[in-house]
Homo-oligomer: A and B are copies of this chain.
Amino acid sequence: MQQPSPETRLRLYADMVRARYFEKRAYDLFLQGLLKGTTHLGLGQEAVAAGFAAAMRSDDMTFCTYRGHNHTLLRGAPMDALMGELLGRENGICGGKGGSMHLTDVAKGAMGSYAIVGAHLPVAAGAAWAAQVRDTGQVSVCFFGDGTTNIGAFHEAVNMAAVWSLPVVFVCENNLYMEYTPIDEVTPVEHPAADRAPAYGLDGIIVDGNDVDAVYEVAQRVLSRARDGAGPSLVEAKTYRHGGHSRADPGKYRPDEEVAEWMARDPIVLYRTRLEEFGIQPDELDRIETAATAEVDEATEVSKSAPAPGPDTLMTNVWADGGSAWRN
Contacts and interface: CB of A to CB of B under 8 A. Distances in A.
Contacts of A186: 163
Contacts of A155: 150-152, 154-155
Nearest to A161: B188
Contact of A153 (B152, B187, B188, B201): B152
Contacts of A162: 188
Q: Which of A159, A188, A195 has the most CB of B within 10 A?
A: A188
Contact of A187 (B159, B187, B188): B159
Contacts of A159: 150, 187-188
A282 interface: no
Nearest to A202: B188
Contacts of A151: 152, 155-156
A19 B182 CA distance: 47
Q: Which of A189, A201, A202 has the most CB of B within 10 A?
A: A189
A198 interface: yes
A189 B154 CA distance: 17
A172 to B, nearest CB: 13
Interface residues of A, number: 22
A225 interface: no
Contacts of A187: 159, 163
Contacts of A163: 185-188
Contact of A199 (B156, B185, B196): B196
Contacts of A150: 155-156, 159
Nearest to A195: B199
Contact of A156 (B152, B185, B196, B201): B152
A288 to B, nearest CB: 42
Contacts of A262: none
A198 B201 contact: no
A30 interface: no
Nearest to A165: B188
Interface string A127-171: 000000000000000000000001111111001001100000000
Interface in A2-54: none
Nearest to A157: B152
A188 B150 CA distance: 19
A176 B188 CA distance: 28
Interface in A176-192: 185-189
Given A155-B155, A198-B198, A198-B199, 7 more contacts: A150-B156, A151-B152, A151-B156, A152-B155, A189-B200, A195-B199, A196-B199
Interface of A: 150-156, 159, 162-163, 185-189, 195-196, 198-202
A-B complex: 10 closest residue pairs judged by Cβ atoms: A152-B152, A155-B155, A188-B201, A162-B188, A199-B199, A196-B199, A152-B156, A188-B200, A163-B188, A189-B201
